[in-house]
Structure 1
């Protein structure tokens, strides 16, 4: 990076067992006190910049907390130490078969959204920090954020993490449809379970799943009669206002054992906490990052015959907001320019609508199952903003105007993506001898990206783009598992994909991008996986896995430099990676202790990246490979009847192998951006009886997110030349945040109060800095301040 006094100001890219009540209260207070104490210790150590040494022993915090509770249980009176059961066995479908979590030879974190909703944690970002090996970066809005897994940075415009709703791939694998930032958050929807599947899943889940997959499993309609629930979540955020989240669900069989239906919905208003300063292009305003969102889920299941079953799913969601969670940064030291919760950006009206129709048919042949999944999805994302702070100087350069002459730069954008997917597969029955699955998938997506940028008062038109793009893919896949004996098996998987992409562009002024008649590209990609699993006893599963993943080739968008020449490559080539992983999953003490750990190594080649010219951006490929390695682990302990502790720890080291000069500009050895090396968490849940008819509960959690770089430093390369980064770096410091909730259950009624970020920690959750014309502008996303609320739920 240049001088330490260089100003950085982020430009958006254009394009326990039963005891007395008194003893219960004592344990609750003791548990909460330990949780708060641990959080305070974490914060003090972080402030002293000792996090590296401390993190090496973060698991001891969980063990120390656990040890004190186990010691209490061991020293408790004999009549209070009755036997209690361990964790229930969890069945997941990450491998496209119903297998217990312990026996799945993949690193998977299974999340029940209901466990988090009583804490006011109702978004995907709220629960990801409790999952090892997964990271969420960005602001508080439901859009405009990124998910990464392990060391696979979101370096390009095509996603590195796949999103699935049941068997349906969501979003875009196109480089020009904002796929990474428009991922689908279904945590408030009619979802039974979320599976975070880590590591490349190219053979099972296809392209753009090279880091892993987020898979939502929807709830089936009731087969036992009419049922439902209603829930209200009311809260207030410091520095902000009053928030509401209402949801409900009804479900009923229409024909017993033959036909059932469920309908669920939610409506959320978040009041925001970022204020706009008077000097912004659209004047002063408060809580500009507020948003409204709602969603509707409807599902029908049918079993017309003994062998034939099917379901139909309809989903519609909508988000509206008039601002973003961003503050302007300058440094070093890097501090907000206008105050901790203030922005100079103008009003940004954003609307995001998503609609999905999906149907699945399953026929049981006796020896195997035939599955057909058909889906159509439509997403429309539009926004309008005044971007004079970001692009005013660029417009002055293009128009020949004097510095400061452009006082307003209205921008409008529209991204529309339609995608049709048809998948069929034939899967053998479980037989503990040789199990197999074969299938094919066809995907066809078309996107429009329309952008317009003007400069006032002159009315200078800088950009008027109509960008059309598409990706068509056909793939065949298969895998087979051979059981050498009852305890040892091997699985081999393969996928062959044929991919066609196209892009065309029309720009009226032709000053930033050039007109481009339709240009197409074709590619063939093969991916593989090899897994060996050994189960020395029913309570231990060991596995080794080698797998590959990819993002598909795309025709590229031309971008003009100052001389009017195209500075972008014609093709964004396929990037690929190979992952090598060993893991262990097991249970101890009659399933009262569960553990899951994995070591992994990744070799990533030809990574797709975003490149910049005069503040505008397009795609390309880096000329350096990336090496990443790390570990992740989780430990769950059933301390006593009703009392659970769940902790996690992960480490990820992801760096460039060589000097990078083709894309973003960086030196060999620099860290990939927006990837924290360390993350850790511990959460506890305690359910206890208050009376014969009233149960109480307390939940608490502490999360640690390590420091990360937002860009690259650059400097003198290996050949002696100076490398200037196109994504400049300002480091984001590590932080600790904690939440707690208390509640009661009376029959079918649940009520709780909660506090999120109870110490009101101020921290950045994401950010970026990159050169524009004559300066570098940096912005950061802010961690949501302390939020206190209450949840009231009735089941019927």
Structure 2
């Protein structure tokens, strides 16, 4: 992607230009502010209106008139709330949860419907293109659009299977990019500089421009944006050893004694993002518009994500660090081989989205076509030194120069075509939309593990170098696992490929039975076809390892031949197909122009899939224990898994009281989840697969309240409660208990609460928000009822985070000072056990960050 490459100097110059542009514009505005239109959201007279127009029903309506539970954020509110990435939406969106894994995986969920296995449970859209991934391999995670030149973000709660299809079981998140405008010149520029407590600087610069090129015929929208988030975790060097009094030191987070040697890299966990977009709208006639566009995004993570070692950190004073391992050289250490892996972890995720949207206004109906191609490549290096050290050497600190690293690669190539015919008269008694959908999604998931010391070890799994079964001159790993390392020191390799096609037809009808009462009936029929290949190579995938046993063949044995010919448990050419039907029934009563009450019953589903075969020789005891066997009684996993589905029952109300000074948006729901796609982990051999195990119930409510008691003052509150439990014990065919009865589906927090206050006077404003997150529920390793319970781990801690902003808003110029995480709270999040349970890692929220934002909008 050389056309999009920008070096650091170029980026800094672009940011400097953005700041200069804003400064010059501010000066000009002071002279002729009366010539500029006021911003459509926050203005000089007070806070922004919440009457955002959304397309959650595939037709444009103000949010207060849409009979579903939805949160929407236009561009001005995103800036006002300090939302810079999708993670920031969580504190302003009831029911939304996002968790990230160290391998680059992520799980976004709504209303407790969450899963790290099988297909995604939450629909993710950029404009009209679904981009969510399957949870395939160990590094899969969905991409999210960066938050800059977006017209709005919509979060739809509850199943959206009728209009948004497979995977929207819990809800749908839609990133809607700014469109070209035929009317006038539009400019949006933003720059920000900030510093983080005991961390490095954060900065950004972005510019978006839209304008007509030919009056009423051609218009464009173009944007360029870069942001760097400074790091706050140090990479350190040192050694460790298990402690004799582990229980005594656990309260400090240590089961090891750590001896530091020095800081290798300061503030190593920085990340950055670069986006660019161009859209052009053509109107060859008054009734036809064509809008081709191309969007580019590249994000980079510099070393290690946001996890730190509790044993090397001091969370109390904010000194956070993680131990890193540098590779040695065979030239100076004969116990090593040279491997082409980086010393530090890193990640890069880039995508290109090509789209062509067409709209024909045909009298009382509109014909809309959306064609798109999404091309994504995700690449991440993860340090495996700790894992391989434990496998081959136990709990001791690795010798200097030992290094293992894993490369995860996830790819997506998605083609989507949707065609809709829908009514265009908002006041018609019958409003309707009918459509067809086709997608061809190709997803790849690769992992390769490289190691520089295993090949020279004298003993591996009881087999000796030069010993049985292959004799003098052979390495210990060959005598143990039967094959040498792959080129470049590779011990493990997997290549998974999924080709998935979906054909669907859908329709929704809204019939106004009376002036105030509307009935909704919708349905979608989808046919999914999936093909799966999984190719596995390397010593750790050999299903016929000698394990150091004597050679049974007269005349000796040769690696890779005879009785020790390697056997790989590949999965090639497996197919799966199914047809799903997802109906929706709704009732809404517009009691007054300011009061809407609604209820709905809707179904959602996620498609079936295929699991890669686990190595039988390694995993046969685990399969026997869990009761998985084929028709002949031989231990075997299921080759595929079925779709699962939810039925959601929801009631809600949207009200404006006291002449609109008080608004209330409330909903309550009950969701029944059947035949859940669950991970079955085989603890001895370390592999796993997906099976349909267990049913669950999710229940709760979402609430948003806004009050404007006097001019210029706005006070808001968002609250949500969710409890999602398995209905009974989740057991394997062999009656092994995976999850106890009534245990939590995930380690989510039952309660979240956000309070927001804004006050505008003259050209100035003050804003503050505080978010409370209750302690997460115990699940798996943190659930005392679970067979996986680890008493040294605790659920994510409860915490409260406070953000404040003060600024000047004059015409289209907005300059503000802000502080995020005012109290510098540092909750322990995502605690995990490594090294057989002796090393513990965790993360926390970004420490106190202080900065200045300047923007211009016209």
Q: With structure 1 as the length reference, what TM-score do the two structures score?
A: 0.81
Distance in 2 (alpha carbons) for counterparts of 1:725 and 1:665: 11
- Aligned equivalent of 2:127: 166
| Matching of residues 655-674 of structure 1 within 5 Å | 655-662=725-732, 665-674=738-747
Residues 86 and 451 (structure 1 numbering): CA distance in 2 closer, same or farther, change over 3 Å?
A: closer
1:355 to partner: Cα distance: 0.7
1:462 to partner: Cα distance: 2.8
- Aligned equivalent of 1:469: 498
Distance in 2 (alpha carbons) for counterparts of 1:335 and 1:631: 38
- Aligned equivalent of 1:110: 72
- Aligned equivalent of 2:528: 499
Among 735, 758, 775, the alignment partner of 1:685 is 758
Is contact 2:641–2:692 with CA below 8 Å preserved after alignment?
Answer: no
1:327 to partner: Cα distance: 2.1
- What is the RMSD computed on CA atoms of the aligned residues? 3.1
Q: Alignment partner of 1:102: what SS?
A: helix
Distance in 2 (alpha carbons) for counterparts of 1:396 and 1:509: 20
Residues 701 and 458 (structure 1 numbering): CA distance in 2 closer, same or farther, change over 3 Å?
A: same
Is contact 1:713–1:729 with CA below 8 Å preserved after alignment?
Answer: yes
Q: Alignment partner of 1:208: what SS?
A: coil
Structure 2, gaps ≥5 residues long: 1-44, 241-261, 326-343, 456-484, 542-567, 624-635
- Aligned equivalent of 2:251: none
- Aligned equivalent of 1:591: 660
1:528 to partner: Cα distance: 1.2
1:183 to partner: Cα distance: 3.0
- Aligned equivalent of 2:551: none
Is contact 1:584–1:598 with CA below 8 Å preserved after alignment?
Answer: yes
| Matching of residues 146-225 of structure 1 within 5 Å | 146-173=107-134, 175-176=136-137, 181-188=141-148, 190-225=149-184
Offset from partner CA, 1:514-548 (integer Å, 9 cap, x none): 22222111111111111111122111111111111
Is contact 1:767–1:778 with CA below 8 Å preserved after alignment?
Answer: no
- Aligned equivalent of 1:760: 824
Is 1:428 paired with 2:412? no
1:425 to partner: Cα distance: 1.2
Is contact 1:713–1:728 with CA below 8 Å preserved after alignment?
Answer: no
Q: More deviation in 371-380 or 282-291? A: 282-291
Q: How many residues align?
A: 695
Residues 564 and 618 (structure 1 numbering): CA distance in 2 closer, same or farther, change over 3 Å?
A: closer
Q: Alignment partner of 2:730: what SS?
A: coil
1:781 to partner: Cα distance: 2.3
Distance in 2 (alpha carbons) for counterparts of 1:733 and 1:594: 32
Is contact 2:74–2:151 with CA below 8 Å preserved after alignment?
Answer: yes
Distance in 1 (alpha carbons) for counterparts of 2:47 and 2:349: 46
- Aligned equivalent of 1:411: 406
Is contact 2:71–2:156 with CA below 8 Å preserved after alignment?
Answer: yes
Is contact 1:351–1:383 with CA below 8 Å preserved after alignment?
Answer: yes
- Aligned equivalent of 1:19: none
Residues 373 and 177 (structure 1 numbering): CA distance in 2 closer, same or farther, change over 3 Å?
A: farther
Distance in 1 (alpha carbons) for counterparts of 2:699 and 2:431: 32
1:774 to partner: Cα distance: 4.5
- Aligned equivalent of 2:36: none
1:419 to partner: Cα distance: 0.5
- Aligned equivalent of 1:554: 609
1:746 to partner: Cα distance: 3.1
Residues 617 and 696 (structure 1 numbering): CA distance in 2 closer, same or farther, change over 3 Å?
A: farther
Is contact 2:234–2:263 with CA below 8 Å preserved after alignment?
Answer: no
Distance in 2 (alpha carbons) for counterparts of 1:86 and 1:791: 18
Distance in 2 (alpha carbons) for counterparts of 1:258 and 1:536: 42
- Aligned equivalent of 2:380: 383
1:144 to partner: Cα distance: 4.3
| Matching of residues 286-435 of structure 1 within 5 Å | 286-323=266-303, 324-329=305-310, 341-344=320-323, 347-394=344-391, 407-430=402-425, 431-435=427-431
Offset from partner CA, 1:147-173 (integer Å, 9 cap, x none): 221121234243211111222212334
Distance in 1 (alpha carbons) for counterparts of 2:352 and 2:790: 36
Distance in 2 (alpha carbons) for counterparts of 1:468 and 1:212: 27
Is 1:785 paired with 2:847? yes
1:294 to partner: Cα distance: 0.5
Residues 466 and 648 (structure 1 numbering): CA distance in 2 closer, same or farther, change over 3 Å?
A: same
Distance in 2 (alpha carbons) for counterparts of 1:795 and 1:635: 28
Among 632, 635, 639, the alignment partner of 2:705 is 635
- Aligned equivalent of 1:736: 800
Is 1:511 paired with 2:540? yes
Residues 473 and 116 (structure 1 numbering): CA distance in 2 closer, same or farther, change over 3 Å?
A: closer
Distance in 2 (alpha carbons) for counterparts of 1:420 and 1:84: 44
Residues 272 and 710 (structure 1 numbering): CA distance in 2 closer, same or farther, change over 3 Å?
A: farther
Q: Alignment partner of 1:761: what SS?
A: coil
1:609 to partner: Cα distance: 2.6
Residues 404 and 243 (structure 1 numbering): CA distance in 2 closer, same or farther, change over 3 Å?
A: closer
Residues 475 and 787 (structure 1 numbering): CA distance in 2 closer, same or farther, change over 3 Å?
A: same
Structure 1, gaps ≥5 residues long: 1-82, 690-694
Q: Alignment partner of 2:731: what SS?
A: coil
Residues 244 and 152 (structure 1 numbering): CA distance in 2 closer, same or farther, change over 3 Å?
A: same
Distance in 1 (alpha carbons) for counterparts of 2:191 and 2:782: 50
Among 635, 644, 651, the alignment partner of 2:714 is 644
Q: Alignment partner of 2:494: what SS?
A: strand
Distance in 2 (alpha carbons) for counterparts of 1:381 and 1:615: 28
Is contact 2:782–2:794 with CA below 8 Å preserved after alignment?
Answer: no
Distance in 1 (alpha carbons) for counterparts of 2:644 and 2:500: 16
Residues 510 and 544 (structure 1 numbering): CA distance in 2 closer, same or farther, change over 3 Å?
A: farther
1:604 to partner: Cα distance: 0.7
Residues 638 and 675 (structure 1 numbering): CA distance in 2 closer, same or farther, change over 3 Å?
A: same
- Aligned equivalent of 2:639: 570
Distance in 2 (alpha carbons) for counterparts of 1:639 and 1:763: 35
1:618 to partner: Cα distance: 4.3
Offset from partner CA, 1:591-628 (integer Å, 9 cap, x none): 11111001100111122233333585544135221111
Q: Alignment partner of 1:159: what SS?
A: coil
For the pair shown, the structure with the greater C-alpha radius of gyration is 2
Among 216, 220, 227, the alignment partner of 1:268 is 227
Is contact 2:413–2:442 with CA below 8 Å preserved after alignment?
Answer: yes
**RCO comparison, higher one (Cα < 8 Å, 6+):** 1
Distance in 1 (alpha carbons) for counterparts of 2:314 and 2:189: 43
Q: Alignment partner of 1:277: what SS?
A: strand
Is contact 2:145–2:175 with CA below 8 Å preserved after alignment?
Answer: no
Q: With structure 2 as the length reference, what TM-score do the two structures score?
A: 0.76
Is contact 2:117–2:135 with CA below 8 Å preserved after alignment?
Answer: no
| Matching of residues 41-60 of structure 1 within 5 Å | none
Among 185, 192, 201, the alignment partner of 1:233 is 192
Residues 738 and 637 (structure 1 numbering): CA distance in 2 closer, same or farther, change over 3 Å?
A: same
Distance in 2 (alpha carbons) for counterparts of 1:132 and 1:715: 25
| Matching of residues 111-126 of structure 1 within 5 Å | 111-118=73-80, 120-126=82-88
